Structure 1
Amino acid sequence: MKSINSLLFAITLGAALLGCTEEQTFDASGSFEADETIISSQTAGTIKEFGIEEGQVLQPGQFIGYVDSIQIFLQKRQLEAQIKALTGRKPNISLQLAALNEQLKTAEREQARLSNLVKADAATPKQLDDASAQVEVIKAQIQAQKSTLNLSTQGISNDATPMEVQIAQLNDQLEKSKIINPVAGTVLVKYAEENEMTAPGKPLYKIADLSTLILRVYISGNQLSQVKIGQQVTVHTDNGTGGFDQTVGSISWINDKAEFTPKTIQTKDERANMVYAVKVNVPNDGRFKIGMYGEINFQ
């Protein structure tokens, strides 16, 4: 009987020790999340093309589709026609001054001829003075005409400037009617479809970069001294067969303010009411999903 009791004790002790070795303890736990971006429409109208699907991987600058912009384009064409008609009324300064310039050349030749005649005593100084005065009169006429034509040209340019600004605004609206993906990532949710009406600020789709996920865990105050930014930690996730997969992540953020323990989170010290949130960047090879549960051990 004594030997049987000893055997039972040994079996019980072995089972207890085996259970202890199999029991896994963690320093903190939480769930995976990602930096999600909601892409919204920048203009109003009917979505004419919207070629994405949930789960699709997009690249920055990738063309996704466009919102109907025919009215904006027609407004631009109208303004361009108005500017063309307006600038067509600009005076041709060189052409309108051509006659006066010819008169000036003739007067200057006459002035030079009379100057030579005066030197040879073949003309009077008064004749030379009259010729010189005629040259000055024509020069003054040219300057006055040039000033008038420049003012007219400047006035037309000033009238065209507001239209050019409106065209720049319409060009900006035309660009915004294109749906261009701004960041790399995977489409998580698609909020709109082709032929639906949209408006500025209305969500079109949600995207997130899933190549690196964030495991948000919570630690108690007495664990703060064990963590720091950039520190590597071991991340454990359920492998679906009763065990855990392991990978390495790095701490990217530690909250400097305590908060009450979320109901869904268990800390190492379950009695802790106030905890600190910690973000751990975890490279994702496709195993991790948003909302998935995970635990960490400090290294």
Structure 2
Amino acid sequence: MNKSKVVMAGVVLALAGALGYGIWQARDRGLPEGLIQANGRLEGDSVLVASKYPGRLETVKVREGDMVSSGQLLATLHSDEVTARLRAAQASLAAARAQQQRATAASAQAGKDAARFADLLARGSVDRMHAEQMQLAAVSARSQAVQAAEQIHQAEAAVAEATAVLRELQLTAPSGGMVSNRLREPGEMLAAGGGVVELVDLNRLYLKVYVPENQIGKIRLGLPAQIRTDAFPDHPFAATVSHIAARAEFTPKEVQTPDERVKLVYAVKLSLSSNPQLRLTPGLPADAVIRWKEGVAWQAPRW
């Protein structure tokens, strides 16, 4: 009987030890109440640098991974049609300016002749018909000068339009960032709207994570978060919950989750507060901890 009690007591102790170890191990892998861990990949909003007009791509001055500044020249295109249009407009402008010079000179002379004949008419040296003819000639000359000026304005507008199109064929960076994709190579023909490179602003990165359905109720916009990467495991980057998906989806295959039973998750965007020295780049895998209860000390993720 005593032996049976000893055996029973041993079994109970073993079960209690196993249960305690299991609870301790589970707690070790998880985070305390108030923190939620998740993982994903860093992303950034891309800007497509595209040509407004069709043309042949002459040069692409950047490669993937290059850092660029706002206004930096990225690529150049050439259009024979636009170049010919500019030359024609410049020739028309030169002709219009020459015509205006002649018309202005003729108008000035006609004005002098009309004034002289008016004086002669007043003194009775010429008849009224000749004086009136000179006045009409002066009016006609002034009208031709005005028309010449209008032709100059039209030619200048044509030159400005063609010049603006050629300027648009010089593709520059709308903002600073990193070249994430180089889409075309020199020699290719581009249609209007054809993309050449994609840029991503490294100062506005975010981590897209997936939170299980049974925890999404704890997440709200503006909550603080910390992001860690393998490249900088001891340096957490501050972030904020900036977007919560309205609908659940099935767990993406590329996302690791410690609970395989969780099937429905919500996409959550964690926007980085800053990216010191631009060390983080899109595509890096990262872990995140979201704090939904104030006062809870930050801890590193435990997978």
TM-score, length basis structure 1: 0.71
Task: Please give the residue correspondences for 1:205-244 in structure 2 after superposition, counting only pairs within 5 Å.
Answer: 205-219=197-211, 226-235=218-227, 237=228, 239=230
Q: Name the counterpart of 1:263.
A: 252
Q: Name the counterpart of 2:28.
A: 22
Could you tell me which runs of 5 or more consecutive residues in structure 2 were left unpaired when the two chains were aligned.
293-303
Could you tell me which runs of 5 or more consecutive residues in structure 1 were left unpaired when the two chains were aligned.
111-129
Relative to structure 1, the CA distance from residue 145 to residue 275 in structure 2 (aligned partners, 3 Å threshold; closer, same or farther) is: farther
Based on CA coordinates, which of the two structures has the bigger radius of gyration? 1
Relative to structure 1, the CA distance from residue 278 to residue 146 in structure 2 (aligned partners, 3 Å threshold; closer, same or farther) is: farther
Take 1:22 and 1:288, find their aligned partners in 2: how far apart are those partners? 31
Match among 174, 179, 187 for residue 182 of structure 1: 174
Q: Which amino acid aligns with 2:82?
A: I
Offset of 1:66 from its aligned partner?
1.4
Q: Name the counterpart of 2:52.
A: 42
Q: Is 1:89 aligned with 2:111?
A: no
Offset of 1:211 from its aligned partner?
2.9
Take 2:275 and 2:14, find their aligned partners in 1: how far apart are those partners? 47
User: Quick check: 2:221–2:241 contact (8 Å CA) kept in 1?
Assistant: yes
Q: Name the counterpart of 1:294.
A: 287
Q: Name the counterpart of 1:104.
A: 118
Take 2:142 and 2:265, find their aligned partners in 1: how far apart are those partners? 75
Aligned pair count? 274
Give % identity.
Answer: 19
Relative to structure 1, the CA distance from residue 196 to residue 228 in structure 2 (aligned partners, 3 Å threshold; closer, same or farther) is: same
Q: Secondary structure at the match of 2:226?
A: strand
Deviations 1:264-284 (A, max 9, x none): 357899777665433210233
Match among 216, 222, 237 for residue 247 of structure 1: 237
Q: Is 1:147 aligned with 2:139?
A: yes
Relative to structure 1, the CA distance from residue 193 to residue 20 in structure 2 (aligned partners, 3 Å threshold; closer, same or farther) is: same
Q: Secondary structure at the match of 2:202?
A: coil
Q: Name the counterpart of 2:271.
A: 281
Relative to structure 1, the CA distance from residue 262 to residue 105 in structure 2 (aligned partners, 3 Å threshold; closer, same or farther) is: farther
Deviations 1:67-122 (A, max 9, x none): 224653343122222232244334221122112223334556x4xxxxxxxxxxxx
Task: Please give the residue correspondences for 1:187-198 in structure 2 after superposition, counting only pairs within 5 Å.
Answer: 187-198=179-190
Take 2:134 and 2:218, find their aligned partners in 1: how far apart are those partners? 87
Take 1:223 and 1:143, find their aligned partners in 2: how far apart are those partners? 93
Q: Secondary structure at the match of 2:99?
A: coil
Q: Which amino acid aligns with 1:284?
A: N
Q: Alpha carbon RMSD of aligned pairs, Å?
A: 4.1
Take 1:166 and 1:262, find their aligned partners in 2: how far apart are those partners? 58
Match among 58, 62, 75 for residue 65 of structure 1: 75
Relative to structure 1, the CA distance from residue 86 to residue 228 in structure 2 (aligned partners, 3 Å threshold; closer, same or farther) is: same
Take 1:276 and 1:78, find their aligned partners in 2: how far apart are those partners? 60
Relative to structure 1, the CA distance from residue 68 to residue 27 in structure 2 (aligned partners, 3 Å threshold; closer, same or farther) is: same
Offset of 1:252 from its aligned partner?
2.0
User: Quick check: 1:38–1:204 contact (8 Å CA) kept in 2?
Assistant: yes
Offset of 1:36 from its aligned partner?
1.1
Q: Which amino acid aligns with 1:175?
A: R
Relative to structure 1, the CA distance from residue 150 to residue 247 in structure 2 (aligned partners, 3 Å threshold; closer, same or farther) is: same
Q: Name the counterpart of 2:66.
A: 56
